[in-house]
Structure 1
Amino acid sequence: MVLDGARMKKLLLVAAVLFAGYMFFNSQHSPTLSESPSSISEQSTAESDAIIANAFANHESNLQVSGQGIVARLLPDDNDGSRHQKFIIKLSSGQTLLIAHNIDLAQRISSLREGDSIQFYGEYEWNEMGGVLHWTHRDPNGAHAAGWLQHQDQRYQ
């Protein structure tokens, strides 16, 4: 059986969603790796990509996620209200994710360039373009999980 490009993409999306569903169900019965930032490195890229793919497919938001990606595009800072450094990363699955890093609460990543690898831990918010990751910093009030970005062995929080 030969699959054309569209059918192959659908098949891969279904596989990713099924895997993410399995991971979600499994996480309900055992501790999740995304609960604490110290265990993020133990979570595989495939697992984190599947969790994000599932959140995107199901329009989920307010979800703490971790992972890594490659900087695809640097965007101008958002200076309306709280200032945010913005850029788009591409996950190994091919999905893109907008990073909105609050530079009023965390240090700006001045050395960031397109093509760089970056690790993240923050809150996923659904949008039609792939999603937004924010809360990549500590909460000064201590009410929200502390997120971070890691670039070239330096953590920005």
Structure 2
Amino acid sequence: MKAQKNNLMIVVVVVLLAVIYWGLDFKQKQNTTHDVRAQPRSIEVVIDDQQQIMQAYQQQRSNLQVQAQGIVKAVLPDDNEGSRHQKMILKLENGLTVLIAHNIDLAPRIDGLKKGDTVAFFGEYEYNPKGGVIHWTHHDPQGKHSDGWLKYKGKTYQ
């Protein structure tokens, strides 16, 4: 009887350890396989889609969710027609320039932005002959589109 009790106790401990191990392994896999684009992070840009942006430009493709960074080549006047957008032109490391159209009715504007600054972005690429436009750099209040963002001097704008 005592041997059966000991054997049962061993089985319970082994099963408990297996469940704990499986749970920790699942949690670790979940943390390493989640889409890092879905949520803004306070760390520097890890994903660099400049090659995909160049290919989309060359193939005249649109509706491509991308993340990269560039140097401000020009700060343009706001577009106040319809939804208001803060506009800037970024030069990417691959030489391509893109227009950033950041909806300031849904997200905060970047104050103090100037030529030569670095801005990281996550948004939707749309082709145009001048290099393309990045928009959806803000949260989607209806939850139907990936939330985008801009990062400037350690602060996220979305």
Give the TM-score taking structure 2 as reference length: 0.73
Structure with greater Cα Rg? 2
* Contact map agreement 2:45 2:69 (CA 8 A) in 1: no
Q: Which one of the candidate residues 36, 39, 42 is aligned to 2:38?
A: 36
Equivalent residue of 2:78, what SS?
coil
Give the Å deviation of 1:111.
1.6
- Report if the CA contact (8 A) 1:34-1:64 is conserved: no
Per-residue displacement from partner, 1:44-69 (whole Å, max 9, x unpaired)? x4xx1111000101111111000000
Q: Secondary structure of 2:68's match?
A: strand
* Counterparts of 1:65 and 1:138, CA distance in 2: 15
User: Percent of counterpart pairs with the same letter?
Assistant: 51
Distance 1:147 1:32, change over 3 A: same
CA distance in 2, matches of 1:152, 1:35: 19
**Alpha-carbon distance change, 110 to 35 in structure 1, aligned in 2, over 3 angstroms:** closer
**Equivalent in the alignment of 1:134:** 135
Structure 1: state its 5+ residue gaps: 1-30
Q: What are the residue-to-residue correspondences of 1:101-112 with 2, within 5 Å?
A: 101-112=102-113
Distance 1:141 1:34 in 2: 21
* CA distance in 2 between partners of 1:34 and 1:61 (Å): 22
Alpha-carbon separation, structure 2, partners of 1:36 and 1:101 = 18
Residue 122 of structure 1 and its aligned partner are, at CA, apart by: 0.2
Contact 2:138 2:148 in 1 (8 A): yes
CA distance in 2, matches of 1:54, 1:32: 25
- TM-score (norm. length: structure 1): 0.74
Q: Secondary structure at the match of 2:54?
A: helix
Structure 2 spans left out of the alignment, 5+ residues: 1-32
Q: Which amino acid aligns with 1:125?
A: E
When residues 38 and 108 of structure 1 are mapped into structure 2, their CA distance, relative to the original with a 3 A threshold, is: closer
Question: 8 Å contact 1:70–1:90 — kept in the other structure?
Answer: yes
